[in-house]
Structure 1
Amino acid sequence: MVCKVALFFFFAMQAISAQLDISFMRFYKNDKDFISDVRLLATGRFNQSHLQVFYDLNKNPLIKEWVDSSGDVINREILQYNENKKLIRKYYTGIDQQIDSVKYFGENEPWSIEFRKALKENSHDYFQNQQTLFKLNASSQFEFMEFRTVQGNIYGKIEFIYNHIGFLVGEAWKALPENIIVRKYVYSVDILTGKKEIREFNQSSEQISYVVLSQPSADSLYKTPPPRFGNNLDEISILLEDIENKNLRIPFDVFIPKTDYDLMVLTNGDSLMVEGAILRQQHVLFNIAGEKPQLTIPKSRVKSITSKYGEPIYP
């Protein structure tokens, strides 16, 4: 239940940085001069705070850095565009160069869509090109989300509430500027049993939904009784088998990689399509695909065995 997102934002920034195609840079005295394109001479930036901006070939700003009089970067802003060169995100970093907030542009941002469902139907705000700000706290958890119209008016906010050990225990969805709670969630976690409870309340503080999530025992995840061998140990394979054999309908697009048999790769580079692989202490029992006789091969001659769903069986 802990919203650890720093790692996600780290990889996101790494991916963005890898795609940056910086062509040139310019210097400005402050953000106001940047907007007005009143540039600062390169020699005028020494021993004074300034703003340096990196551009691509199309003169789109990619990175904005606020530099103090000592020449140290104290804040950084990374801008991301879509294939049509429209600004879609801004990533903000602090003095520690870690991302502390992200701003999304556009009315299709999922959290803003869900928040607007909780607003009154007679709301007349203009949401096209709206902005969503995700703010992290010192523990790299979501602190709040803030929603602004294109005019800059804040129309909503989601605040996240944590207990003393860092577990998420609640959410408060507030309509602004009225500061009215339009939706509230309360979470509780039993660490010993793994049971999680989710309660949802409406604007009148009436409970409108209640969900209990519990973790099943390990034995209930398997269809075959002990001892289990080979890929029978992997509950993912069992679930995928159910989806295929029972022709279950999945309410979203999903690609399940699958071959007809497991793949055994030998240390000499040869590969075999096998089924029913059973791992013993010193050897592997298996059947060649489509053949009945069970064969044996020393583990020292086996480099790897991969299930037909792409899951590693050995090593």
Structure 2
Amino acid sequence: MTDEVSYVRYFDSDFNFKADLSMLSSERRGKNHLAVGYNELTQPIKIEQISQTGMTKKIEMLKYDLEGRLIERGEYNENMKYLSLTVYGDSEPWSQEYRTWRFKENEPLAFVDQQTNFRFIDGEQITKILFQTIDGQKYGQIELDYDYLGYLSEERWRDLPSARVIRKFKYKFDIIYHEEKPSTVVQIWEFGHDGELISNVAVDMAPADQLYLRPPPRSNNILDEVDIIATEIKEGRVIVPYGAIIPRTEWDELILVNGERLFIDFFEVSESGIKFRMEGEDEILTLPLHRVRSLTSRIGDVIYPKPIGGKK
């Protein structure tokens, strides 16, 4: 079986692994090293980072297609919870949907062998999906926010490298009782690049539609949940016969060390500082971390400084 480990080799470092310079099993004791599991086709399918005390720090799982091409690379913590997942190839459904909406058919960018990178929180919920070409050019990303119950609350599509929000969805879940039988209604609003409301709909979920608790990842791996929301709307799920209330668009809150409060569209925290855009502006600004007291997301999560013992 190509997904089962047939034998294990040990390497002193990632450099030695890539150079195929293995070490003896007896040489690994008391030092940091890699334990690499191979399948019967001599393909590496499991890479463990082992500390000098013998503890597993990180695990990578690799998956190949029938022609031996790498198609997935997942990173896990010691409890086998996702840290990230990279899917290779232009057939990955999330990237296909993004490109179909974002680019024209004659787009000069080449997407063959592109990468889709999924980032997670608590090893379960996807928080960011990043798309980049084979030569490392990042062309888009999707950000996913959740409420305190774990329901998807907002989905933002960004163009890269501009970091401009070009599409946004807001979600609201309500429990409705029909003759004492509860069902969940999800309201969905779609906004365009300049914040205008494009469409809104309310969908009555069947009791079994628990996949709504998660975002609709569109990849053929362990994330495989069909794009429930889009699919159900297209297939004509019952539309609730009342008008939806348009939610107020909120901003991330940045507080400077001098007490000044700014409402921003947060992009990312980098080594150079916090990158963001002001309302109504196209330029990406960077503020050094030493000037920032706190940064709170639009759904109330503390982004900076990272809380002690908080979510990773």
1:100 maps to 2:100 = no
1:215 CA displacement = 5.5
Q: Deviations over 1:135-174 (max 9, x none)?
A: 2211721211111211123221111111233221110011
Q: 1:131 aligns to what?
A: 115
| One-letter identity of the residue aligned with 1:147 | F
TM-score by length of 2: 0.59
Q: CA separation in 2, counterparts of 1:35 and 1:116?
A: 33
CA RMSD, Structure 1 to Structure 2 (Å):
2.4
SS of 2:16's equivalent?
Answer: helix
**Structure 2 gaps, min length 5:** 178-183, 208-233, 236-312
- Counting aligned pairs with the same residue, the percent is 30
Q: Give the conservation status (yes or no) of the 8 Å contact 2:82–2:123.
A: no
TM-score by length of 1: 0.59
| One-letter identity of the residue aligned with 1:150 | I
Relative to structure 1, the CA distance from residue 124 to residue 178 in structure 2 (aligned partners, 3 Å threshold; closer, same or farther) is farther
Q: Give the conservation status (yes or no) of the 8 Å contact 1:118–1:182.
A: no
SS of 1:179's equivalent?
Answer: coil
1:43 CA displacement = 2.4
1:119 maps to 2:92 = no
Q: 2:152 aligns to what?
A: 168
Q: 1:284 aligns to what?
A: none
Q: CA separation in 1, counterparts of 2:205 and 2:138?
A: 39
1:123 CA displacement = 4.8
Q: 1:48 aligns to what?
A: 31
Q: CA separation in 2, counterparts of 1:216 and 1:29?
A: 53
4+ residue runs of structure 1 moved beyond 4 angstroms?
A: none
Q: CA separation in 2, counterparts of 1:215 and 1:22?
A: 41
Q: CA separation in 1, counterparts of 2:4 and 2:149?
A: 42
Structure with the largest fraction of strand: 2
Q: CA separation in 2, counterparts of 1:30 and 1:124?
A: 39
Q: CA separation in 1, counterparts of 2:107 and 2:206?
A: 44
SS of 2:155's equivalent?
Answer: strand
**Structure 1 gaps, min length 5:** 1-17, 218-249, 252-315
SS of 2:15's equivalent?
Answer: helix
1:90 maps to 2:80 = no
1:27 maps to 2:17 = no
Alignment equivalent of 1:207, drawn from 183, 191, 197: 197
Q: Deviations over 1:159-198 (max 9, x none)?
A: 1111233221110011111101121101112224533211
Q: CA separation in 2, counterparts of 1:128 and 1:136?
A: 25
1:152 maps to 2:142 = no
Q: CA separation in 2, counterparts of 1:64 and 1:149?
A: 25
| One-letter identity of the residue aligned with 1:173 | W
Q: CA separation in 2, counterparts of 1:216 and 1:43?
A: 57
- The count of corresponding residues between Structure 1 and Structure 2 is 202
Q: 2:256 aligns to what?
A: none
SS of 2:66's equivalent?
Answer: coil
Q: Give the conservation status (yes or no) of the 8 Å contact 1:118–1:183.
A: no
Alignment equivalent of 2:43, drawn from 60, 80, 85: 60
Q: 1:197 aligns to what?
A: 187
Structure with the largest fraction of helix: 1
Relative to structure 1, the CA distance from residue 162 to residue 120 in structure 2 (aligned partners, 3 Å threshold; closer, same or farther) is same
Q: Deviations over 1:228-269 (max 9, x none)?
A: xxxxxxxxxxxxxxxxxxxxxx98xxxxxxxxxxxxxxxxxx
